[in-house]
Structure 1
């Protein structure tokens, strides 16, 4: 008989299709593998106990993932901290899944896998010396407010290779032809490079391998009471 830790299946969804951004870990098992050598009473409780064990470990993985976000990301937003959800196993379906919700997965994947991100629209907006909220992001509607300021324009200045939102420094009536100095407020970036920093999936696999045997024994004792 295989060791208990090897009789659970751990699967990660394919990340080949970035448009369908997904990040999940699935824990599955086969009750028949655990029922050998047990009496009838214990055998009947195996599916229920296994579902409890899988769900307990998924809850622990979720807590670990949230701790990792706080530790690895710079002041993550409440929206980011609500990224993860669990589809629980049942005694009739011994498959549990922990996953990142679609919107959060779209950007957390870059922190998990690394790589070069290209914007879906024209550019990635990066504030430069511009006020950001407590999470380090530009507040909603900030770009529109910046563009509404006097002597502010969007584009690539003559003689510059960098596009963005600029302000002409000087009097309120500074003209385009006055040779006024320009201050970059928001930079338009064509791409952003990321290094893998979260390691959520590898950490979850280690947790599942280490914790599932203990969780199953605990669940069997509970089920047999």
Structure 2
């Protein structure tokens, strides 16, 4: 009598149960891991792109995006830009091009300083000392805003008494029309130098940071490999 070996119904039921368990528990877990790993790759590549495109980007710029992570219940991971404090985000302008939105300094000066000059933009004057990121030092900006009466909190603006107390420190002023070129000037002892320039033209940027297109390309490239690795990990840790 010939005997044959094969798969018996009990084995089939065990296999079906295992596959259902993989589908119910391990696939969502693997997909969550893969989506989050892909999102992290997009974040890393975003930073690399910004360092290549921008001149000495600040930490604030490099960390302007965050990952909204996927969960097993919500299998969606998105890389999003943090909200701007107000108005249009400056990175949106870098991505799409167009006029640069007003900076906080510009809004304060335009709104609080009496001048006959039509001001569209305020930029560092030629020769002004910049920090390692190519920006004016924050301490000097705050002192200049206080000296010219541009602080939003009026109590932070300089008074005659406060100027006398800091007589040896640099003083900033906006000259009367015809005296000097429009802007904020710095007086240190008997020496004066220009600190900020007022311009009547709004800066315009050309598109140069395609965050969405770049992010999609990275996701398409990274997701398959991340999914294979995540599925392998999920199956190896299955209980």
1:192 corresponds to which of 200, 203, 207: 203
8 Å contact from structure 2 (residues 90, 100) kept in 1: no
Cα separation, partners in 2 of 1:167 and 1:78, compared to 1, 3 Å: closer
Partner Cα separation in structure 2 for residue 142 and residue 80 of structure 1: 21
Paired position in structure 1 for 2:123: 126
Partner Cα separation in structure 1 for residue 186 and residue 218 of structure 2: 51
Partner Cα separation in structure 2 for residue 156 and residue 102 of structure 1: 38
Task: Choose between structure 1 and 2: higher strand proportion.
Answer: 1
2:79 corresponds to which of 83, 98, 102: 98
Note if 1:213 corresponds to 2:224: yes
- Cα shift at 1:145: 4.2
- Cα shift at 1:40: 1.4
Paired position in structure 1 for 2:163: none
Paired position in structure 2 for 1:204: 215
Normalising by structure 2, what TM-score? 0.63
Note if 1:113 corresponds to 2:132: no
Q: Secondary structure at the match of 2:89?
A: helix
Moved >6 Å (runs of 4+): none
2:177 corresponds to which of 138, 153, 157: 157
Identify unmatched segments of 5+ residues in structure 1: 1-37, 175-181
- Cα shift at 1:144: 5.0
8 Å contact from structure 1 (residues 156, 164) kept in 2: no
- Cα shift at 1:191: 1.6
Paired position in structure 2 for 1:6: none
- Cα shift at 1:97: 1.7
Cα separation, partners in 2 of 1:57 and 1:183, compared to 1, 3 Å: same
- The structure with the larger Rg is 2
- Cα shift at 1:198: 1.7
8 Å contact from structure 2 (residues 41, 222) kept in 1: no
Task: Choose between structure 1 and 2: higher helix proportion.
Answer: 2
Identify unmatched segments of 5+ residues in structure 2: 1-17, 111-119, 148-168
CA RMSD of aligned residues (A): 3.1
Residues matched between the structures, number: 177
Partner Cα separation in structure 1 for residue 34 and residue 235 of structure 2: 14
Paired position in structure 2 for 1:52: 33
Note if 1:79 corresponds to 2:60: yes
Partner Cα separation in structure 2 for residue 144 and residue 212 of structure 1: 46
Partner Cα separation in structure 2 for residue 142 and residue 124 of structure 1: 18
- Cα shift at 1:133: 0.7
Cα separation, partners in 2 of 1:139 and 1:216, compared to 1, 3 Å: same
